Structure 1
Amino acid sequence: MRRSSRSDEPPVRTPGARLVDETGSASLEFLTVGVLLLVPLVYLVLALGQIQHAVLGVEGAARYAARTIAQAPSHDAGLQAADRALLVAMADAGMERDAALVTIACEPDPGACCTRGGTVTVQVDATVPLPLLPPVLAPDVGIGVPISARAVQPVSAFGGAP
């Protein structure tokens, strides 16, 4: 019977061999690199999701505010309906109504948004705070991303105020 060249005894190692032995280090390297890449990636997904949610809310707020003003029977009723539409849309986006700057422009008469054949333009500007960041730079606002939405709605030639 031929004897195997492999022995059941562990090989003899010198003290310097332990320093270059890399047994088990691949899993440690994988975990370290994985965590270092995964944490920023998860934060990026959270931040982009929050920004996209706010963008859709602000866009909807501008669109519905312009639509309610254009369909209102009078200028004051249109502004009240637009304020309610802004409150609902901003609440759906998880933002406060006071966090947005709303600009309403009417053509051809700036004082009457319900002029037949005219247009109503609503611009909504807001700042979306980034998640999990303390307000370091500006205590009242924090670090955020500015977003803006603009909607233009024509007033019907058959509706509105004469």
Structure 2
Amino acid sequence: MRPSNPSTSSELGPRWADDTGSAALEFITVGVLLLVPLVYLVLTLGAVQEQTLGAEAAARHTARVIGQAPDADTAAARGDGVLQSVIREYGMDADAVDVSIRCRPSGAACPTAGSTVIVTVTTRVSLPFMPPLFGLDRIAAIPVQAESAQKTSRLWGSG
């Protein structure tokens, strides 16, 4: 004679008798709950990476063009052209991009012969799917900054 086992499904009643299919449903539910934040994280990191690369490219190429230009007027024109090209290429918001140019050693005119031109590009990355409601898109933006330096020739501006 076998002892009775109170945990068998027939003794628990018809409610617990059939568990068929519940594991698949649980897997799908948990999978969706984990997949949505993971996809959002990938989209956010992709947007931040794109803007970071764009800011770095804008700073580097603008500093290089200014440092290699023959004079101040050419440097300004070429610098603006390169900056606008990089902004278009990386899909950056032109209104959100801030560029500052300074020289070391500090002087009255920037750039000058023999100085080091330092270009700083700052922008903000808006989070994906963030609505512009009540300024949430500006509040939930990630700041990105890149800086590059280029040495100008000692003969810069003399030719």
Structure 1 and Structure 2 fold alike (TM over 0.5): yes
| Pair 137,148 (structure 1): closer, same or farther in 2 beyond 3 Å | farther
1:119 has 2:116 as partner: yes
Q: Give how far 1:94 is off.
A: 0.5
**Residue correspondence of structure 1 range 1-162 to structure 2 within 5 A:** 13=10, 16-19=13-16, 21-108=18-105, 109-113=107-111, 115-138=112-135, 141=138, 143-157=140-154, 159-162=155-158
Q: What SS class does the counterpart of residue 147 from structure 1 fall into?
A: strand
Number of matched residues? 149
Distance 1:96 1:49 in 2: 16
Q: Which is worse superposed, 122-131 or 139-148?
A: 139-148
Q: Distance in 2 between matches of 1:139 and 1:33?
A: 29
- In structure 1, the partner of 2:6 is none
Which structure has the highest helix share of the two?
2
- SS of the aligned residue for 2:103 comes to strand
SS of match in other structure, 1:123 = strand
Native 8 Å contact 1:137 1:143 kept in 2 = no
* RMSD value, Cα: 2.1
TM-score (norm 1): 0.82
**Structure 1 gap ranges (5+):** 1-11
Question: Based on CA coordinates, which of the two structures has the bigger radius of gyration?
Answer: 1
The residue type equivalent to 1:126 in the other structure is T
The one-letter amino acid paired with 1:30 is F
Identical amino acids, percent of aligned pairs: 45
**Counterpart of 1:122 in structure 2: which amino acid?**
V
Query: Could you list the runs of 5+ residues in structure 2 that have no partner in the other structure?
Result: 1-8
Once the two structures are superposed, residues 6-61 of structure 1 have per-residue CA deviations (whole angstroms, 9 ceiling, x without a partner) of xxxxxx95783324632210000000000000111011111101110110011000
